[in-house]
Amino acid sequence: MDKKKYADYVKQRAPRSPIGKNCLFAFLIGGTVSATAECFFRLYRYLEISEENAKTLVPVTLVFLAALLTGLGVFDDVARIAGAGTLVPITGFANAVASPAIESKSEGFVLGVGAKMFTIAGPVIVYGVLSSVLYGVILWVCSLFG
């Protein structure tokens, strides 16, 4: 069987993806995550926390909640329905850190949890830090000439 016949065979046999439904759920769940973040921000401001500190507390709270829900086994069920609606925001990052740690806890805290925690999120952290340093250097060099 050549490549074209095989591609046609796969196309006929593969189940169709409900793109509209998937987009709707991603939009709704992602919007719920964003609305929840806004609610936390307003709550922190209502508690008379400065705007700067509230802006810091909101992502910390979302990361904590996502890690907690991952530990309780709820996050993965929601992510199966919502897709990118939960995986793209900061909550997906928290899940990417917490999931490998939970799965490898039987190997111990150092070689299991500690070593596996950043297997997925590690490259994101490394390249994020490197990108921010590069951006900072570019801004600094531009300020010298501006």
Q: What is the pLDDT of residues 43-99, one digit of tens each?
A: 999 999 999 999 999 999 998 898 888 888 888 888 888 877 776 667 777 777 777
Q: How many CB atoms lie within 10 A of CB 94?
A: 22
Report how many helices (DSSP H) and strands (DSSP E) the chain contains, helices first.
8, 0
Which percentage of the chain shows pLDDT scores above 70? 86
* Res 35: pLDDT: 94
Place of tokens 């939960």: 86
DSSP, res 107:
G
Which of residues 111 and 27 earns the better pLDDT score? 27
Q: Where exactly are the structural domains of the chain?
A: 18-120
* Res 56: pLDDT: 93
What is the pLDDT of the chain when averaged over all its residues? Answer: 84
The alpha carbon of 65 is separated from its chain's Cα centroid by a whole number of angstroms, namely 12
Phi, psi of 2, rounded to the nearest 5 degrees: -80, 175
Report d(CA 3, CA 41) in Å as an integer: 54
- Position 36 pLDDT exceeds 90: yes
pTM of the predicted model, to two decimals? Answer: 0.65
Report d(CA 59, CA 88) in Å as an integer: 14
What is the gyration radius of the CA atoms in the chain, in angstroms?
21
